[in-house]
Amino acid sequence: QMKPLIRKPPVESAREEYIEAGIPEEWIDPLKKLGYTTLGKLRETAKAGKLSNDLNVYNKKNRLGLAGLSPQAVEKWLEIS
């Protein structure tokens, strides 16, 4: 007899947590779409240079019209507060 699949709700950090970490509100959705759904995941896996490049490419491909990000700006997000 097969057991029913139990789906866990996806774990996500709240928008307020991203804002408190110094991440501008307009970059929260692109971060989540790139798979950084929690601040912990963002801080443990991301390198500032790669993340800023990924976000800038996402911005350009999806024509979001957001100002470009420097690796230095992204590095401030990754610092543990």
Smallest Cα–Cα separation from 36: which of 70, 13, 67? 13
Q: What is the pLDDT of residues 11-42, one digit of tens each?
A: 888 999 999 989 999 999 999 999 999 998 88
The tokens of 13 are what? 């950090």
The pTM (predicted TM-score) of the whole model is 0.80
Q: Domain segments of the chain: what residues?
A: 47-81
How many whole angstroms separate alpha carbon 57 and alpha carbon 14?
Answer: 24
Mean pLDDT value of segment 53-68:
95
User: What is d(CA 60, CA 66) in angstroms, rounded to the nearest whole number?
Assistant: 9
- The whole-number pLDDT of residue 81 equals 45
